[in-house]
């Protein structure tokens, strides 16, 4: 359950309690001094006007507080991720100065919020002071008609009335702010345009893809319709069950080809990608991605238990999950941390073990097409060998498309595709391409060997 899920009901409960307490206090004061009830309607009107003015101001200040803190958080995350680079180039003092500037800016709305909260407390104290004076005047004027016990009760309630009234207004503000967050999420979901374009509504069969045959027909793709294509006029046919490695220098379009397959890039007119003879440009993009079993270069984890992360849809039994984790040699570590129901902390695993965990997740997810995006580029040789062994055993009957950083990992593949600036410049069996001394693949392989 998220913090927002907890904040709304608790704000509502606190507000309800404060309203009841404040109302009971006002009733007891009116009962103690009958004529005091004539003062309550103006007090209620004043409190309503006060909360309306305070609520509008507080809401805007809170939004400014979030807006001004966002650059500080972004700067902190960027500094943390690029700490090695910052230190190596001697930029530490510049980043410290920038951090202090953003910190100072982020404190301005927070200070203003504290100011208006103190203003609210002052105004309520003045209001209650006026009520206390009027109550004392009534008690003195009607001392012969009032009971001493009721007078003491009225004085006790007027002492705490300002605190209860202030708590009521603050909780009303917190509740409104929490509901406003829900409203913004709702507006975002309703007003944000879907990524699916017109015509991307066709639903394939439930068991699609059945074989895993992929055909790229004159594919050109770009990040935006107006941008230059990053994949240019690429035609490629991948047979069902084939293992195809994609390689090339940095910026050659390897990952762009994969993102085109998953429909994250816009295809140019005349381009088509067929999976089992179904044009993916006619399908909802979410459905296309569901058909791909992808393992990214950077591991992805969700907040939750180990079970939730390895089986997000809760489709598999404990035995199946444990078997998958054992295949990647992580079960002993997971068991030592508390088993499948333990909360997942990424510090549990090294970088190589995180990739192995993602591989276990892919083992549980059955699909005829497996996409590997440089999954072993940042792991040690032992982890690399284990991953390669598991991939070849578990996905033996699947179509595998692997973006390769280490070219020796795809030497036993059925085909190798070499890209350069988004263009397919060479393809064929890896052993045949190595014999071409001046070929693209041979040059890349020899440069890595040396």
The reported pLDDT for the residue numbered 6 is 46
pLDDT tens for the chain, residues 1 to 450: 444 444 555 556 666 776 676 677 667 666 666 666 677 778 778 777 877 777 778 778 877 887 888 899 999 988 988 888 889 888 999 999 999 999 999 999 889 888 888 887 788 778 778 877 877 777 777 776 666 666 676 666 676 776 777 777 777 777 766 676 677 778 778 887 777 777 788 888 888 888 889 999 999 988 877 778 889 999 999 999 999 999 988 888 888 898 899 888 888 888 899 999 999 988 988 889 888 998 888 888 888 888 988 888 888 899 999 999 999 998 998 888 888 888 887 677 887 888 888 899 999 988 899 998 877 777 788 888 888 889 889 998 899 999 887 888 888 899 999 998 889 999 999 999 988 878 888 888 888 765
Same domain (yes/no): 62, 160: yes
Structural domain range at position 335: 238-262+285-449
The total of structural domains in the chain comes to 2
The reported pLDDT for the residue numbered 213 is 92
Among 176, 191, 206, give the residue marking a domain's end: 191
Question: Is the distance from CB of 127 to CB of 164 less than 8 angstroms?
Answer: no
The reported pLDDT for the residue numbered 275 is 93
Same domain (yes/no): 43, 147: yes
Same domain (yes/no): 180, 64: yes
Residue 268 lies in a domain: no
Among 191, 220, 248, give the residue marking a domain's end: 191
Same domain (yes/no): 291, 186: no
Same domain (yes/no): 245, 344: yes
Residue 233 lies in a domain: no
Mean pLDDT for the chain?
Answer: 82
Question: Is the distance from CB of 368 to CB of 210 less than 8 angstroms?
Answer: yes
**CA-CA distances (angstroms) from residue 447 to 66, 337, 406?**
50, 43, 11
Question: Is the distance from CB of 339 to CB of 378 less than 8 angstroms?
Answer: no
The reported pLDDT for the residue numbered 303 is 83
The reported pLDDT for the residue numbered 53 is 79
The reported pLDDT for the residue numbered 43 is 75
Residue 279 lies in a domain: no
The reported pLDDT for the residue numbered 8 is 53
3-state secondary structure the chain: CCHHHHHHHHHHHHHHHHHHHHHHHHHHHHHHCHHHHHCHHHHHHHHHHHHHHHHHHHHHHHHHHHHHHHHHHHHHHHHHHCHHHHHHCCCHHHHHHHHHHHHHHHHHHHHHHHHHHHHHHHHHHHHHHHHHHHHHHHHHHCCCCCCHHHHHHHHHHHHHHHHHHHHHHHHHHHHHHHHHHHHHHHHHHHHCCCCCCCCCCCCCCCCCCCCCCEEEEEEEEECCCCCCCCEEEEEEEECCCCEEEEECCCCCCHHHHHHHHCCCCEECCCCEEEECCEEHHHCCHHHHHHCEEEECCCCCCCCCEHHHHHCCCCCCCHHHHHHHHHHCCCHHHHHHCCCCCCECCHHHCCHHHHHHHHHHHHHHCCCCEEEEECCCCCCCHHHHHHHHHHHHHHCCCCEEEEECCCHHHHCCCCEEEEEECCEEEEEECHHHHHCCCCCHHHHHHHHHHC
Same domain (yes/no): 145, 256: no
Question: CB under 8 Å to 249, separation ≥6 — which residues?
Answer: 420, 444
The reported pLDDT for the residue numbered 2 is 44
CATH assignment at residue 310: 3.40.50.300
Among 191, 216, 249, give the residue marking a domain's end: 191
Q: How far apart are CA 298 and CA 319, in angstroms?
A: 27
Residue 130 lies in a domain: yes
Same domain (yes/no): 10, 134: yes
Residue 72 lies in a domain: yes
Same domain (yes/no): 329, 421: yes
Residue 420 lies in a domain: yes
Residue 411 lies in a domain: yes
Q: How far apart are CA 250 and CA 379, in angstroms?
A: 19
Same domain (yes/no): 124, 251: no
Q: How far apart are CA 71 and CA 301, in angstroms?
A: 24
Same domain (yes/no): 142, 253: no
The reported pLDDT for the residue numbered 416 is 93
Same domain (yes/no): 125, 183: yes
Same domain (yes/no): 65, 131: yes
Residue 200 lies in a domain: no
CATH assignment at residue 22: 1.20.1560.10
């Amino acid at each position: 359950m998220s913090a927002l899920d907890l904040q709304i009901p608790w704000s509502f409960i606190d507000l309800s309690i404060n309203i009841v307490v404040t109302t009971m206090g006002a009733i007891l004061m009116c009962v103690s001094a009958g004529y005091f009830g004539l003062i309550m309607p103006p007090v209620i009107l004043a409190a309503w006007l006060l909360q309306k003015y305070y609520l509008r101001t507080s809401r805007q200040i809170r939004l400014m507080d979030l807006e001004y803190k966002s650059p500080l958080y972004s700067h902190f995350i960027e500094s943390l991720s690029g700490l090695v680079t910052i230190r190596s180039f001697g930029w530490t003092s510049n980043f410290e100065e920038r951090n202090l500037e953003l910190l100072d800016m982020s404190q301005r709305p927070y200070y203003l919020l504290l100011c208006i909260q103190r203003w609210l407390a002052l105004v309520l104290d003045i209001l209650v002071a006026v009520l206390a004076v009027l109550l004392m005047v009534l008690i003195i004027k009607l001392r012969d008609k009032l009971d001493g016990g009721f007078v003491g009760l009225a004085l006790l309630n007027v002492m705490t009335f300002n605190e209860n009234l202030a708590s009521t207004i603050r909780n009303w503000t917190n509740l409104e702010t929490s509901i406003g967050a829900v409203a913004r999420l709702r507006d975002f979901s309703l007003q944000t345009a879907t990524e699916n374009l017109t015509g991307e509504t066709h639903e394939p069969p439930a068991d699609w893809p059945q074989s895993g045959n992929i055909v790229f027909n004159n594919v050109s793709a770009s990040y935006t319709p107006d941008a230059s294509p990053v994949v240019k006029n690429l035609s490629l046919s991948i047979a069902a069950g084939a293992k195809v490695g994609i390689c090339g220098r940095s910026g050659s379009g390897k990952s762009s080809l994969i993102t085109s397959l998953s429909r994250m890039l816009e295809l140019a007119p005349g381009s088509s990608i067929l999976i089992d003879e179904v044009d993916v440009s006619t399908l909802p993009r979410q459905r296309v991605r569901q058909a791909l079993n992808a393992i990214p270069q950077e591991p992805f984890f969700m907040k939750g238990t180990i079970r939730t992360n390895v089986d997000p849809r809760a489709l598999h039994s404990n035995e199946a999950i444990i078997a998958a984790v054992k295949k990647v040699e992580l079960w002993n570590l997971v068991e030592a941390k508390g088993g499948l129901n333990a909360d997942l902390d990424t510090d549990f695993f090294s970088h190589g073990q995180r990739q192995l965990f993602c591989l276990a997740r892919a083992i549980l997810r059955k699909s005829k097409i497996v996409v590997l995006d440089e999954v072993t580029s940042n792991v040690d040789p032992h982890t690399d060998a284990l991953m390669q062994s598991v991939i070849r055993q578990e996905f033996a009957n699947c179509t595998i498309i692997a973006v390769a950083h280490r070219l020796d990992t795809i030497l036993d593949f059925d085909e190798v595709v070499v890209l350069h600036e988004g263009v397919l410049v060479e393809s064929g069996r890896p052993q045949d391409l190595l014999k071409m001394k001046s070929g693209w693949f041979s040059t890349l392989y020899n440069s890595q060997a040396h």
